[in-house]
Amino acid sequence: MFQTILDIIYPVRCPICGDIVIPKGEKICSSCRDKLPYIKEPRCMKCSKPLELQEKEYCSDCERKKYNFDKGYAVWVYNEDMRHSIAYFKYNSKKEYAKFYIEEMLCYYSKHIEKLAPDVIVPIPIHRSKYLERGFNQADILAKGIGKELGLPVLSKLLIRNKKTLPQKKLSDKERLKNLQEAFQFNKKEANSYDKKVTKVLLIDDIYTTGSTMEACTNVLKSNGITQVYFLVLCIGKGF
Ligand SMILES: [Zn+2]
Ligand SMILES: [Zn+2]
């Protein structure tokens, strides 16, 4: 009864078009779901960006940069619809979209995560000033939803973002990475408060664009005793 009243007052909104979702119980309109750019084969064996050619193993980025993270997955290509949806989620407090995102991440990748068997899940942190502005860290919401469903612990503060990064357009790849790495800190207190040894980490974020944030966090983790780093994100760019 209470849920029915809630459904009337706050009907579920589609994370793509923003309309009320019909039929009840669904989290997205079926026509919007049909146009979402789900990532399928062929995809990069390292970062999972979709590839143009079946015979290629890696995207040009992964071929060129030799990333230190071990492997990653993404649900969708970062197209205009997804950019819009995630912007609403982050900046217009459409926190309820997270339910749909988490459901899709699990639907497509829970088997992969179970196979990787990470010790803990860690969200990519945001700077405190952004947190105060937004009231939440979008990656943390996703991480907690996934952790809860798969019975995996979430260490939300294992990584801390202690520095805001300046616009990085003029920097080379190397300078950009160095800059970013300095922005993240490994939180020894959080690591020590966890009673088991952590060697495998699954990082969670909303968007993977250049890969430099993921790589910076990987390097910080790997220089602090973590041996394997994987990631799962909502969206990633194309690999061609
Ligand atoms: Zn829709
Ligand atoms: Zn790749």
**Could you tell me the distance, in angstroms and rounded to a whole number, from the CA of residue 21 to the centre of ligand 1?**
7
Residue 165, CA distances (Å) to 38, 136, 214, 218 in order: 31, 19, 15, 17
Structurally, the chain folds into a number of domains equal to: 2
Instruction: Give the span between the Cα atoms of 219 and 224, in whole angstroms.
Output: 9
Residues 56 and 70 in one domain: yes
| C-alpha closest to that of 101 among 135, 66, 149, 53 | 149
**Could you tell me the distance, in angstroms and rounded to a whole number, from the CA of residue 82 to the centre of ligand 1?**
12
Q: How confident is the model at residue 82 (pLDDT cuts 50, 70, 90)?
A: very high
**Could you tell me the distance, in angstroms and rounded to a whole number, from the CA of residue 147 to the centre of ligand 1?**
27
What pLDDT sits at residue 104?
98
Residues 31 and 65 in one domain: no
**Could you tell me the distance, in angstroms and rounded to a whole number, from the CA of residue 210 to the centre of ligand 1?**
29
Is residue 79 predicted with pLDDT exceeding 70?
yes
Neighbouring C-beta atoms of residue 88, cutoff 10 Å: 16
Residues 187 and 70 in one domain: yes
Residues 31 and 43 in one domain: no
**Could you tell me the distance, in angstroms and rounded to a whole number, from the CA of residue 36 to the centre of ligand 2?**
21
Is residue 240 predicted with pLDDT exceeding 70?
no
Tell me which ligand sits closest to the C-alpha of residue 97.
1
Tell me which ligand sits closest to the C-alpha of residue 60.
2
| Residues of the chain above pLDDT 90, percent | 78
E strands, 42-196, in order:
71-77, 120-123, 159-161, 184-186
Residues 6+ apart with CB under 8 A from 232: 72, 73, 74, 105, 109, 113, 146, 202, 203, 204
Residues 87 and 65 in one domain: yes
| Residue 120: CATH number of its domain | 3.40.50
What pLDDT sits at residue 21?
93
Is residue 88 predicted with pLDDT exceeding 90?
yes
Tell me which ligand sits closest to the C-alpha of residue 231.
2
What is the average pLDDT value for the chain, to the nearest integer? Answer: 92
**Could you tell me the distance, in angstroms and rounded to a whole number, from the CA of residue 139 to the centre of ligand 2?**
21
| Residues of the chain above pLDDT 70, percent | 95
Mean pLDDT of 86-112: 94
Instruction: Give the span between the Cα atoms of 154 and 139, in whole angstroms.
Output: 11
Is residue 9 predicted with pLDDT exceeding 90?
no
**Could you tell me the distance, in angstroms and rounded to a whole number, from the CA of residue 9 to the centre of ligand 1?**
19
Q: What is the distance in angstroms between the CA of the first residue and the CA of the last residue of the chain? A: 51
Tens-place pLDDT, residues 46-63 = 999 999 888 899 999 999
Residues 18 and 56 in one domain: no
Instruction: Give the span between the Cα atoms of 188 and 57, in whole angstroms.
Output: 37
Residues 7 and 25 in one domain: yes
Residues 18 and 124 in one domain: no
**Could you tell me the distance, in angstroms and rounded to a whole number, from the CA of residue 117 to the centre of ligand 2?**
21
Residues 143 and 169 in one domain: yes
Domain that includes residue 30, residue range: 1-35
Instruction: Give the span between the Cα atoms of 218 and 158, in whole angstroms.
Output: 12
- Strand partners for 204: 123, 232
Tell me which ligand sits closest to the C-alpha of residue 47.
2
**Could you tell me the distance, in angstroms and rounded to a whole number, from the CA of residue 70 to the centre of ligand 1?**
35
**Could you tell me the distance, in angstroms and rounded to a whole number, from the CA of residue 18 to the centre of ligand 1?**
6
Write the secondary structure of 71-85 as one string of H (helix), E (strand) and C (coil): EEEEEEECCHHHHHH
Tens-place pLDDT, residues 143-192 = 999 999 999 999 999 999 998 776 667 778 888 888 889 999 999 999 99
Tens-place pLDDT, residues 26-44 = 999 999 999 999 999 999 9
**Could you tell me the distance, in angstroms and rounded to a whole number, from the CA of residue 208 to the centre of ligand 2?**
11
Query: Which segment, 62-66, 122-126, 179-183, is predicted with the most confidence on average?
Result: 122-126
The SS3 of residue 94 is coil
Q: What is this structure's pTM?
A: 0.93
Residues 60 and 90 in one domain: yes
What pLDDT sits at residue 238?
83
Instruction: Give the span between the Cα atoms of 56 and 42, in whole angstroms.
Output: 8
Phi, psi of 176 (to 5 degrees): -60, -45
Tell me which ligand sits closest to the C-alpha of residue 49.
2
What pLDDT sits at residue 175?
85
**Could you tell me the distance, in angstroms and rounded to a whole number, from the CA of residue 65 to the centre of ligand 2?**
9
Residues 79 and 140 in one domain: yes
Query: Minimum mean pLDDT among 127-141, 160-174, 188-202: which range?
Result: 160-174
What pLDDT sits at residue 1?
67
Q: What is the DSSP string of 32-45?
A: HHHTS-B--SSB-T
**Could you tell me the distance, in angstroms and rounded to a whole number, from the CA of residue 210 to the centre of ligand 2?**
10
Tell me which ligand sits closest to the C-alpha of residue 56.
2
Single-letter residue type at 204: I
Residues 201 and 189 in one domain: yes
